Amino acid sequence: MIKKPYVGITGFMRRQEVSAVLEQANLRVRMLMVGVLVSSKTLSGRQNKWPNRYPKIKEMADIFPEDPNALNLIHYNTDEPETLANQLLELTDRGGHNLRGFQLNIAWPFPIELFAYRFFLPR
């Protein structure tokens, strides 16, 4: 549960970028939402048309810091919404132990896909 409001920045590519922002930010009142962009293309190891904004999938987990003032989110878009649950399960696994959630950058996901993700999510 988020205990205080946050300011979000999306497009981090390296942990050093996150560390620099955390070091300079006044986080007594707000958290920093650390957004990492992922698409169905980058999830499958392919490059999309914005390679300077979407990190390689194998590097994603290393971007998220273990910091109580960081809300670590994957900002995900897909052109395969019919398999969203499986994609989210894979992202949950690849996101590492500091991942806290998702922002879905898609129009109206199928509710059954969100239910399936929640149902099959390891506890």
**What's the rounded mean pLDDT across residues 35-54?**
94
pLDDT of residue 27: 73
% of the chain at pLDDT higher than 70: 97
Q: For residues 102 and 90, what is the distance between their CA atoms, to the nearest angstrom?
A: 12
Domains of the chain: 6-120 (3.20.20.70)
pTM of this structure? 0.92
How many Cα atoms are found within 13 Å in the side-chain-facing hemisphere of 42? 23
Three-state DSSP at 8 gives: strand
Where helices occur in the chain by DSSP H, the ranges are 15-24, 40-43, 60-63, 84-94, 111-120
The residue count of the chain comes to: 123
pLDDT of residue 24: 86
CB atoms within 10 A of CB 86: 14
**What's the rounded mean pLDDT across residues 88-102?**
96
